[in-house]
A and B are shown apart, each in its own frame.
Chain A
Amino acid sequence: MKTNVKTEIYTNDMLCLSKDFSSGNDFLDEFIKSPDALNDGLGKTFVWIDEKRTHIIGYYNIGVGYIDMFSGDDKYKIGGSVHLNFFALNEKYRGIIIGQTDEGKNVKISDQLFGDFMNKVYEIRHKYVGFSFVTLAATEEVYSLYRRNYFDDLDEDLHFSFKDDEKGCKPMYLALDVE
């Protein structure tokens, strides 16, 4: 069987495919099955779907945010961000190495889905909205994925607001301007 992966905006007619989606994280699985995943007010959901539209391989949901800096009692805006609200890969595809980067680092399917998200980030930044950072709140399980994709823990003097469901996660960021 050949699986050509396509990225599409998540729409109402794909809700039926979400019932079989299982990432191993109940919270992420419930999200893609809920109307929230279609709510533009919460974020925009993009899915990785096979060409025959039989199943969802993974998904991510993008929103916006801001990084602030504390200086004494004052808080300053440092720069706008795209915030990765949700990121999930079907557990069937977890941990699978599919290739290598120029530096010889292994590329997993999760990295490829993450690369798809980053492609979207660059497209938005290049064509539509300017911002400086990508932010996310990492659970312990996916912390290593973000670290190997060059995300850093947020410095102590920097801050962004968490969503309710992100409490207990580790705030991370990636600057997009190149040194």
Chain B
Amino acid sequence: MLAQMPFVANKPLKRTMSKEAKKHFDSLLSLDVELFEDELTGELYSKVTDTRTGKTEIRKCIYTDED
């Protein structure tokens, strides 16, 4: 038996990823992140490198209430 349920092979997928979403993931997935904690103050810093451009930015982390 090949399959119990029919596979709609001739039906195009209705749902695709938008170009905006693709751009978002291209950007998000290119970020290389390191975290640093200041031992004196306990403040957290991030060093983020965009692997596409090699550009690195160090910034103090900002705390929010959400996830």
A-side interface residues toward B, CB under 8 Å?
1-5, 68-69, 74-79, 89, 94-99, 101-103, 105, 107-112, 115, 118-119, 122, 132-133, 141-142, 144-145, 149-150, 155, 173-179
- B25 cross-chain contacts in A, Cβ below 8 A: 115, 118, 149-150
Q: State the majority secondary structure of interface residues on B.
A: mixed
**Contact with A108, one of B23, B26, B36, B67 (Cβ below 8 angstroms):** B67
Cα-based distance from A179 to B15 in the complex (angstroms): 8
A-binding residues in B (CB < 8 A): 5-8, 11, 13-29, 31, 33-37, 39, 44, 46, 48, 57, 59, 61-67
A99 smallest CB distance to B (angstroms): 4
Closest to B38 in A: A1
Chain A positions within 8 Å of B19 at CB level: 178-179
Q: A179 contacts B18, CB within 8 Å? A: yes
With contacts A79-B13, A150-B21 known, is A107 near B28, CB below 8 A? yes
CB neighbours of A179 from chain B (8 A): 16-19
Check A99 against B5 for contact (C-beta < 8 Å): no
Q: How far is the CB of A145 from chain B (nearest CB, A)?
A: 5
A175 and B67 contact, CB distance less than 8 A: no
A178 near B16 with CB under 8 A, answer yes
Chain B positions within 8 Å of A132 at CB level: 13
Cα(A9)–Cα(B36), bound, Å? 24
Name the distance in Å between B53's Cβ and chain A's nearest Cβ: 10
* Residues of B contacting A4 in the complex (Cβ-Cβ under 8 angstroms): 34
Chain B residue at minimum C-beta to C-beta distance from A134: B17
Which of B14, B28, B46, B61 has most chain A Cβ within 10 Å? B28
Q: Name the distance in Å between B36's Cβ and chain A's nearest Cβ.
A: 5
Q: How far is the CA of A77 from the CA of B11 in the complex (A)?
A: 11
Task: Specify which of B8, B28, B63 is in contact with A69 (CB 8 Å cutoff).
Answer: B8
Supply 19 further A-B pairs (C-beta < 8 A) apart from A108-B64, A178-B22: A68-B5, A95-B67, A96-B64, A97-B64, A99-B33, A101-B27, A102-B23, A102-B26, A103-B24, A107-B31, A112-B28, A115-B28, A118-B28, A132-B13, A174-B17, A175-B17, A176-B17, A177-B17, A179-B16
